[in-house]
């Protein structure tokens, strides 16, 4: 299993170093910054599983960081624990009203903070908010985004599937397959980041299926960027022999060898606007059909 990634946003470098050392010793991946603006950028690009956030920061305060994380589709699901010198009731309420998950004051007990971190991560997992492999929004968060489309105008859903993932998993194992899923998530996120100016949503439906919610004017560029990069760079996950051959040899149910193409992305597209769909099941059915058609057209078996 991948390590949970924690972002520490604390302007006191001694406290920041102490927290980083402790959580790394507990098996977490730790990112750290002293500035709120950097925290927003790191959260958008690295998608931490949880943010420990000080309120008093040298540029923008923790309240504003929390507000911006909660209003951005890419980061709205990330659990946030406020860490601050302030202990007045009004300050705690202000943080919780902005969507923070918990609140702890300095001086703090490290074991208590760790328990609060574990509880917040456990709640996020239990509520099916994020995929445990990629850290991307999943389950209920995807459903909420799809529900919001029903009354919106001018939207596009890209339903993205990794063709050939099952055969790769069978031959190379689930650890290698999980690495491919994390790579796919990175490709989607970085494509969105490079195409600035939007409020695109990316989620991991499960297995090799992902979703991007965007607008029609961004669709073609996103599709081109994600498919070109993934289809080219995913070859590095294969051994030299398979990479040079350009396909896998796998056995079917009868024991006969067959050729399976190397992994690539199939992208189905659904365009919509207010009134076109009355239920998210209709959106997902049309999107699934579009992805299957794309898989047949783009990812057929060799031979």
| pTM more than 0.75 | no
Distances (CA, A) of 114 to 15, 63, 157, 251: 15, 22, 38, 48
Preceding peptide of 58 cis, ω within 30°:
no
Give the separation between CA 262 and CA 302, rounded to whole angstroms.
10
Q: Which residue has the tokens 């031959």?
A: 171
Domain boundaries, given as residue ranges, for the chain: 5-126, 139-298
Give the separation between CA 285 and CA 280, rounded to whole angstroms.
9
Domains 5-126 and 139-298 share a fold: no
Tens of pLDDT, residues 215-241: 999 999 999 999 999 999 999 999 999
- Strands, E, within the chain: which ranges? 5-9, 29-33, 50-54, 80-84, 102-105, 155-163, 201-206, 209-214, 247-251, 257-261, 264-272
Within 10 A of 270 (CB to CB), how many other CB atoms are there? 23
Note the CATH number of domain 5-126. Answer: 3.40.50.2300
* CA 188 to mean position of chain CA atoms: 9
Task: Indicate the burial class of 197 (C-beta count within 10 angstroms; 0-12, 13-18, 19 or more).
Answer: exposed
Tens of pLDDT, residues 129-149: 788 889 899 988 899 899 888
In the chain, pLDDT over 70 holds for what percent of residues? 95
Q: Given a cut of 70, is residue 121 above it in pLDDT?
A: yes
The CATH architecture to which 139-298 belongs is: 2-Layer Sandwich (3.30)
């Amino acid at each position: 299993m991948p390590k949970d990634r924690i972002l520490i946003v604390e302007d006191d470098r001694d406290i920041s170093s102490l927290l980083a050392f402790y959580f790394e010793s507990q098996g977490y991946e730790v990112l750290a910054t002293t500035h709120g603006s950097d925290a927003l950028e790191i959260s958008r690009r690295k998608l931490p599983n949880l943010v420990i956030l000080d309120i008093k920061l040298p540029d923008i305060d923790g309240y504003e960081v929390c507000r911006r994380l909660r209003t951005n589709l890419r980061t709205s699901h990330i659990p946030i624990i406020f860490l601050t010198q302030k202990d007045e009731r009004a300050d705690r309420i202000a943080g919780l009203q902005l969507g923070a998950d918990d609140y702890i004051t300095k001086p703090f007990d490290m074991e208590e903070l760790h328990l609060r971190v574990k509880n917040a991560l456990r709640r996020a997992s239990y509520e099916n908010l994020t995929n445990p492999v990629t850290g991307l929004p999943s389950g209920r968060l995807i459903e909420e985004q799809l529900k919001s489309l029903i009354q919106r105008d001018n939207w596009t859903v890209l339903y993205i599937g990794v063709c050939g993932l099952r055969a790769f998993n069978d031959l190379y194992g689930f650890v290698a397959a999980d690495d491919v899923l994390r790579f796919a998530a990175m490709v989607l996120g970085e494509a969105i980041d490079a195409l600035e100016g939007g409020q695109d949503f990316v989620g991991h439906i499960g297995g090799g299926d992902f979703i991007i919610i965007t607008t029609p004017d961004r669709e073609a560029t996103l599709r081109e960027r994600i498919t070109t990069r993934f289809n080219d760079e995913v070859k590095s996950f294969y051994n030299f022999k398979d990479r040079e051959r350009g396909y896998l040899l796998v056995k079917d149910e009868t024991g006969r060898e067959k050729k399976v193409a190397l992994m690539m992305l199939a992208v189905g597209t659904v365009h919509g606007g207010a009134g076109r769909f009355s239920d998210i099941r209709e959106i997902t059915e049309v999107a699934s059909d579009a992805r299957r058609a794309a898989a047949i057209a783009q990812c057929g078996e060799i031979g």
